[in-house]
Structure 1
């Protein structure tokens, strides 16, 4: 038994050594190349993509790199890509649950709008197996996420590329969008407030969301608990326009009750 135990300890020591060497090599690659992809690292080191994702997450927690969708970037990389990466790292578990709950509300035959928020991106992730759904979006990230979803048709709202959010603003072509019957619109926000409604920190983003929210039969806000009571510079939907708010258990009970009293469904996931 002692021999088996000693062998196990030796194996664990080698595993720890290889783990440390692999992660050090990953950091060096990120520093040299500026960015790395999960698939590339998996092939290079001969380990699974699950293992690489765990490596990248551990390194991100040590502030040695920044996680992105499908890989990682150097800490001092392009500010636009950094902004996207940092948004995705906030409230990750909550946004995933909210995204799943949002996707479950989308039915076969629906045409829906997904904005450029990280929570709408989480909805897109959970739409991969849906069929006969049309997604209208101004987000390049949502388009990328749905690229391998054969049952989902994607319509991109045109405009001027805003690199910080990888989205198009200006909402060119709204006349064409207005011809679609948008059953549901899913909107992230900087915050929700009883008076200001749904707000954004970007007036350009709000200018896209405002007319599209008016076109949707249902406006569904997808907000983690940190967004309650916050007010951004530009409102894009009043609370009276909102049908549903999907949020997590950390949402403040008193404000949730006040919103429900206004006739808005609040779904806590």
Structure 2
């Protein structure tokens, strides 16, 4: 099963060298894509040599890349849909598996999240003139969540669901600003166009993605990676989405804490304004 292949990576992760960790990150980020890679394609996606991939699979306990790839793909042959949900599962089983997937995604992402990199992202946000949040499709939910949260700080923040407006916003940003770009795959053409425009304007960019070696991650100044064992495009990458929302919430909390009293003033004003819209008991 794919889980066994992924588990073999995770159990050996701390013993991998930097090159092998790049390969591991690429596979863990999305096994449903990685299992279709030839050894050469995985090498290119991970920015390593084919020989490094061959050594990697042997290091984590597989006799050959073919054996590893078959194990990674084996879940495609089973009678399942939405990741690990089977047709015979009861409602209780489905609920438990969805919650388990979310829990695994949060736990794994937390374990992989580098504190130094995260702190650097917080510093960029705190010192930005304007923070723009960009995401398309499901990623727009994460962008809007960040916008909704960062409105409670003293930071000037902008976000819009329409792609054309996002592109215009990106074109208008400057080196004094920061862009937070969200994409599960890190390969969406429109999202990459926005990231490229930001880079052209020397805007510091923070990527939130599931692929550590994706084009978006490589374009960004800082990349925060969400990881889920059950990542599956057919299921809209639900587990990864939960992890990305939590990364955004963590950024907001750390930013708010760092800005201190400035944030508290905004929070109090917003709370008072919202309270006036509520019907009294």
TM interval, short-chain normalised: 0.3 to 0.5
Question: Under a length normalisation based on structure 1, what TM-score does the superposition of the two structures give?
Answer: 0.33
**TM-score normalised by structure 2 residue count:** 0.32
If you compute each CA radius of gyration, which structure gives the higher value, 1 or 2? 1
Larger proportion of helix: 2
Higher relative contact order (CA 8 A, sep 6+): 2
